[in-house]
Amino acid sequence: YPAQSQLADLDADDLKKEIKKRVADGKCLLVLDDVWDKEAFHRISDALQNLQATRVIITTRQEHVATLAQPTRQLKLKPLEHSDAFSLFCRKAFYNSMESKCPPELEKLANNIVGKCQGLPLAIVSIAGMLSSLPQKEYVWNEMYMQLRSELANDNHVSAILNLSYHDLSGELRNCFLYCSLFPEDHLLTR
């Protein structure tokens, strides 16, 4: 079988052939991750016809794609509860400290930052990752919190947090990031 990275490069016809080959042996769970439009699913759906032992999971952030499944089969993920969000934040922000525990002097700021992330794991992990590389000083974290508040006042929630992470990169890393953005998604880069 082709490697997972090679599957991403297949066109619809080759992908259908590959699916038929893999599910011919019997039971199969097929996960179509991060589907952006219904047409992508429809192009390969005939490969799934008459396969009794096959189950398909489609993950998407698009409401219109979720309607491919019956309403009773849709699972909408909710944002994390504050305690879970705080726990995730601490695991990422304090990963090299004992038990990933938040220092007491940063706890109030950490809770405020987590609150601004509205329970969204991507936002939590991004901001915590950025903070993990900064000194664990109250004035440093307070400055970051003020920047976060300022960004959120003017922008879409998640993109504001990602924008803050981007601007925290060194000039050299920003250039590297922008260069990589020229390539299509899942493109394999070699040295």
Query: Per-residue pLDDT for the chain (191 aa), expressed as one digit of tens each?
Result: 555 556 667 777 887 788 777 777 677 788 888 888 888 788 877 777 766 667 888 888 888 888 888 888 888 888 999 999 999 999 999 987 777 789 999 999 999 999 988 898 988 998 898 899 889 999 999 988 888 887 777 656 666 667 777 777 778 888 887 778 788 777 777 77
Helix, strand, coil percentages in the chain from 3-state DSSP, rounded to 5: 60, 5, 35
Residue 23: phi and psi, rounded to 5, are -90, -5
Whether the CB-CB separation of 19 and 48 falls below 8 Å is answered with: yes
Q: pTM for this one?
A: 0.62
